[in-house]
Chains A and B, each alone.
Chain A
Amino acid sequence: MTAGPDTSVPRFDSVDHVREGLATAGYIADDGLSGVVYLADRLAKPILVEGPAGTGKTELAKSTAAFLGSRLIRLQCYEGLDEAKALYEWNYKKQLLRIQVEREAEDAGGARPLGWDALEEDLFSEEFLLTRPLLEAIRASDPVVLLVDEIDRLEIETEALLLEVLSDYQVSIPELGTIRATQIPLVFLTSNNTRDLSEALKRRCLFLHLDYPSLERERAIVLAKVPGVTNELADQVARIVRSLRSLDLKKHPSISETIDWARTLVLLGIESVDSETARSTLNVLLKYQSDIEVAAKELAVAPGY
């Protein structure tokens, strides 16, 4: 097991606690999901959340932070992200200024020169350190939630940057030594699965696959997220979306699109969806013209048997 600092104060009492807490933050979780979050806290391991776009991966981290009342530190990944952007950087300009001041003081003949060793120690102290998200999450004294978003956009080599932080909750800075976490942040990594992540990374994480929700869960999500929606409408929306997902489309409607659609219907004052309204508002749910055509055809025509 990893020799990180111990998790003295667990964040959650039970799996149910997680689920109810998330519900107060407006996030409808199922058992598996809340169970994994609960375990992540108990085992002090990061969660790798994977799934199609728009199924609430980022939202999970945000809601967890909101419900715990913790600060959310977010690292958005992109190709070309490096140490200086993810971990830490020396404040080069400030260091230059410091040197300048030293020299001027020397020229004025006032103060005795500091000497190389002392100056170096001074220049590479925490005063000149710019913390970036990962280091910030480690150094925070309050229990924070760290979100590393879209980790699959990183190059495979850059992934290694994260490993030390994720497994040991520490950052080694050559000039300063190792900075250990005083508290264990709750870490969420999200991935859209555009490439396979390295084994090393996967091994360190708990894996959570977020798929499209069940009918019941989707209905609950719509009810929670869309003000003014009736039970019947939510039910209908969830059913239609489920039917759409069973079609062979380029892109299936995601949860966020379901919510958008429900909002649209509420705004338009529609209480019950018939084929006509469904067809005229499909462009909220589906983003490809060909998909819209397929769906319109399928929804209007009763399947033959």
Chain B
Amino acid sequence: MLDILTGFVSELRQAGLPVSVAEEADAAEALGHLRLEDRQAIKFALGATLVKSANHWRAFDTAFEIYFSMRGPQFSVGEGDVSAGPELGPVPAGLEGRGPSSTGALEPVTAEEIAAMLFKALHEGDQMLLGAVARLAVARFSGMEAGRPVGGTYYLYRTLRNLDLDGVLSRLVAEARALAGGAAMSEDTDDQSQAGPVLRGRRPGQLTALEERLLEDEYRARIDELKKEIEAEIRRRLVADRGAEALARSVRKPLPEDVEFMHATRDELEAMRKAIAPLTRKLATRLARKRRHLRRGALDFRSTMRHSLSYGGVPVEPRFKHPRQVKPEIWVIADISGSVAAFARFTLHLVYAIASQFSKVRSFVFIDGIDEVTGIFDRSDSVSEAVHRVNLEADVVWVDGHSDYGHALTVFYERWGHEIGPKATILLLGDARNNYHASQSWVVRELSNRARRVYWLNPEPRSYWGSGDSILEQYAQFCDAAYECRSLRQLEAFVEHLV
């Protein structure tokens, strides 16, 4: 058991979680107080002792599922770990009955049968059946091949594509609607028991919008459960195929603040979106605090003299002026084309979330045309809504919708250049991949002459700068600095430095 724990902890450390030796010892001690066959109990014990931040839970979860799912044929025959066998053997309660059939013993099931079972399982919210469907679906659709060093995302995609969950969802709702309407006509009370969740015990009649919404949310929740089941099933098979350590390496999930903007998947973007709210709140508190505890201002001569009177004219107690708050004026100019869009979005989000730290924030977005979007932010209630509207409303395409930094910057300079004064700090966001257009880097030179500071933030790794059609060097030479900004962590560090 201790071996497994050590392996598990080192995997957590690999994934970037800071786990100290003392915490590892705590975890080991905690395990001593629990029944080892209770998998859920072990999970929360390890979670409570090893994971000290809610953001890290996902990484922990993935690692746990892999390290503590060592079952299946390979393991019982395998020569190795005597300790692992008996202790983790009878593992998860509620999961029994899905054991040995995992490899090939399944009778061939047709796609239609699976679809029918799926519909039934979702309709009735039957946990056992859901599990069974997940198992069958993976066996039938995922097309797994032994020994391929992949993380399973592709298998998941294939399975889900074949199940057509969106279609099932709309069918479920349509049926419920028909059922409710039908019940109204026939006054047949027997149908009530079939009515599914939410509607049980309700008077017959047309579905109201609210009920329909609730019903749909209920089915959505069940579908999410199914997706989790499928993912777990795929993972179980992969573990059985390749062993925990190999798999852990390929599915290791970086922490949300370390995910790279350029390569984030949709799920990861979602996780980042969730992580950014607490992140900005923390950042704002930290900045406010920093400002309050700022070093004292210059010597206040008058006040010092006045106070010295009570000591007979000896300036015992020097007095200082309050430091003058310098709040920078921020101009954000962001490339929102293709792959850098996510980066621009998060940066805008962060800047606006701490807008109180700046005297003024103006924002511009471009692809090959450029448009000011400050107004969208002012009119919107929440930052995320504004970011969403920027994508819809901003007029950023000039010719072909491929990045043209040169044109965008020229237009910017012509239209807004004269408004930039010595208080302005300009942030240019983008990868400077200019599709071989003219760079027009003189604009950046002019900007940096007028503004207090000009920074370039690039979501690409530094080693890629200047490769291919990236012409960052031509711009960077006129900037005060160019930073690599690949993850939320780096972005946060930059913004803190900015204030």
Q: Are B47 and A196 in contact (CB under 8 A)?
A: no
Q: Which residues of A contact B166 (CB under 8 A)?
A: 305
Name the interface residues of A131-160: CB closer than 8 Å to any CB of B. Answer: 155
Q: Which residues of B contact A43 (CB under 8 A)?
A: 26, 29-30, 33
Interface residue? B170 (CB, 8 A) = yes
Name the interface residues of B32-68: CB closer than 8 Å to any CB of A. Answer: 33-34, 40-41, 43-45, 47-49, 51-54, 57
Q: Are B214 and A243 in contact (CB under 8 A)?
A: yes
Q: Are B48 and A15 in contact (CB under 8 A)?
A: no
Q: Are A242 and B48 in contact (CB under 8 A)?
A: no
Q: Are A194 and B214 in contact (CB under 8 A)?
A: no
Selected interface stretch from B277-285, B295-303, B328-336, B418-426: B277-285
Q: Which residue of A lies closest to B20 (CB)?
A: A203
Q: Which residues of B contact A211 (CB under 8 A)?
A: 54
Q: Are B217 and A239 in contact (CB under 8 A)?
A: yes
Q: Which residue of B lies closest to A155 (CB)?
A: B289
Q: Once the chains are docked, how many angstroms separate the CA of A203 from the CA of B19?
A: 9
Q: Which residues of B contact A155 (CB under 8 A)?
A: 289
Name the interface residues of A263-305: CB closer than 8 Å to any CB of B. Answer: 272-275, 278, 290, 298-303, 305
Q: Which residue of B lies closest to A245 (CB)?
A: B217
Q: Are A299 and B281 in contact (CB under 8 A)?
A: no
Q: Once the chains are docked, how many angstroms separate the CA of A209 from the CA of B266?
A: 25
Q: Are A1 and B209 in contact (CB under 8 A)?
A: no
Q: Which residues of B contact A107 (CB under 8 A)?
A: none
Q: Are A15 and B41 in contact (CB under 8 A)?
A: yes
- Given A43-B26, A207-B48, A278:B210 Cβ within 8 A: yes
Q: Which residue of A lies closest to B177 (CB)?
A: A302
Selected interface stretch from A28-36, A61-69, A169-177: A28-36
- Given A203-B22, A274-B208, A305-B170, A299:B213 Cβ within 8 A: yes
Q: Are B210 and A300 in contact (CB under 8 A)?
A: yes
Q: Which residues of A contact B191 (CB under 8 A)?
A: none
Interface residue? A246 (CB, 8 A) = yes
Q: Once the chains are docked, how many angstroms separate the CA of A158 from the CA of B43?
A: 33
Q: Are B25 and A250 in contact (CB under 8 A)?
A: no
Q: Are B381 and A290 in contact (CB under 8 A)?
A: yes
Q: Once the chains are docked, how many angstroms separate the CA of A50 from the CA of B25?
A: 23
Q: Which residue of B lies closest to A249 (CB)?
A: B382
Q: Once the chains are docked, how many angstroms separate the CA of A202 from the CA of B50?
A: 10
Q: Are A45 and B285 in contact (CB under 8 A)?
A: no
- Given A194-B285, A196-B282, A250-B381, A1:B213 Cβ within 8 A: no
- Given A195-B286, A196-B282, A290-B381, A275:B23 Cβ within 8 A: no
- Given A206-B48, A272-B202, A199:B209 Cβ within 8 A: no
Q: Are A32 and B47 in contact (CB under 8 A)?
A: yes
A273 interface neighbour in B25, B57, B170, B210, Cβ under 8 Å: B210
- Given A206-B48, A208-B48, A215-B221, A39:B33 Cβ within 8 A: yes
Q: Which residues of B contact A164 (CB under 8 A)?
A: none
Q: Which residues of A contact B52 (CB under 8 A)?
A: 48, 202-203, 205, 207
Q: Which residue of A lies closest to B281 (CB)?
A: A194
Interface residue? B241 (CB, 8 A) = no
B33 interface neighbour in A42, A51, A243, Cβ under 8 Å: A42
Q: Which residues of A contact B201 (CB under 8 A)?
A: 232
Interface residue? A95 (CB, 8 A) = no
Q: Which residues of B contact A256 (CB under 8 A)?
A: none
Q: Once the chains are docked, how many angstroms separate the CA of A193 from the CA of B55?
A: 11
By DSSP majority rule, is chain B's interface helix, strand, loop, or mixed?
Answer: helix
- Given A240-B214, A300-B210, A31:B33 Cβ within 8 A: no
Name the distance in Å between B212's Cβ and chain A's nearest Cβ.
5
Name the interface residues of B409-453: CB closer than 8 Å to any CB of A. Answer: none
Q: Which residues of A contact B208 (CB under 8 A)?
A: 274-275
Give the number of chain A interface residues (Cβ < 8 Å): 53
A31 interface neighbour in B40, B214, B281, B385, Cβ under 8 Å: B40
Name the distance in Å between A237's Cβ and chain B's nearest Cβ.
11
Name the interface residues of A167-223: CB closer than 8 Å to any CB of B. Answer: 193-196, 199, 202-203, 205-209, 211, 215
Q: Are B44 and A1 in contact (CB under 8 A)?
A: no
Q: Are A1 and B385 in contact (CB under 8 A)?
A: no
A239 interface neighbour in B26, B57, B198, B285, Cβ under 8 Å: B198
Q: Which residues of A contact B173 (CB under 8 A)?
A: 305
- Given A207-B51, A248-B384, A302:B217 Cβ within 8 A: no
Q: Are A248 and B382 in contact (CB under 8 A)?
A: yes
Q: Once the chains are docked, how many angstroms separate the CA of A96 from the CA of B214?
A: 69
Q: Are A209 and B170 in contact (CB under 8 A)?
A: no
Q: Once the chains are docked, how many angstroms separate the CA of A196 from the CA of B217?
A: 34
Q: Are B210 and A303 in contact (CB under 8 A)?
A: no
Q: Are B217 and A243 in contact (CB under 8 A)?
A: yes
Name the interface residues of A225-254: CB closer than 8 Å to any CB of B. Answer: 232, 235-236, 239-240, 242-243, 246, 248, 250
Q: Once the chains are docked, how many angstroms separate the CA of A208 from the CA of B210?
A: 35
Q: Are B30 and A274 in contact (CB under 8 A)?
A: no
Q: Which residues of B contact A246 (CB under 8 A)?
A: 217
Interface digits, A2-36 against B, CB 8 Å rule (1 contact, 0 not)? 00000000000001000000000000000110011
Name the distance in Å between B254's Cβ and chain A's nearest Cβ.
18
Q: Once the chains are docked, how many angstroms separate the CA of A272 from the CA of B218?
A: 18
Q: Which residue of B lies closest to A2 (CB)?
A: B22
Q: Which residue of B lies closest to A199 (CB)?
A: B18
Q: Once the chains are docked, how many angstroms separate the CA of A274 from the CA of B198?
A: 12
Interface residue? B372 (CB, 8 A) = no
Name the distance in Å between B72's Cβ and chain A's nearest Cβ.
25
- Given A31-B44, A207-B51, A298:B213 Cβ within 8 A: yes
Interface residue? B216 (CB, 8 A) = yes
Name the distance in Å between B321's Cβ and chain A's nearest Cβ.
24
Q: Which residues of B contact A15 (CB under 8 A)?
A: 41
Q: Are A207 and B47 in contact (CB under 8 A)?
A: yes
Name the distance in Å between B353's Cβ and chain A's nearest Cβ.
12
Q: Once the chains are docked, how many angstroms separate the CA of A239 from the CA of B54?
A: 25
Q: Which residues of A contact B45 (CB under 8 A)?
A: 35, 39
Q: Which residues of A contact B44 (CB under 8 A)?
A: 31-32, 35-36
Q: Once the chains are docked, how many angstroms separate the CA of A243 from the CA of B90?
A: 37
Name the interface residues of B145-184: CB closer than 8 Å to any CB of A. Answer: 166, 169-170, 173
Q: Once the chains are docked, how many angstroms separate the CA of A36 from the CA of B23?
A: 15
Q: Once the chains are docked, how many angstroms separate the CA of A305 from the CA of B48?
A: 42
Top 9 nearest A-B pairs by Cβ distance? A290-B381, A32-B44, A202-B52, A275-B210, A206-B48, A209-B54, A302-B209, A35-B44, A42-B33
* 9 contacting pairs across A/B (C-beta < 8 A): A35-B44, A39-B34, A50-B54, A194-B281, A199-B18, A199-B20, A203-B52, A232-B201, A242-B217
Known: A246-B217, A302-B212. 7 other contacts (CB 8 A): A31-B40, A39-B45, A42-B30, A43-B29, A207-B52, A209-B57, A248-B384
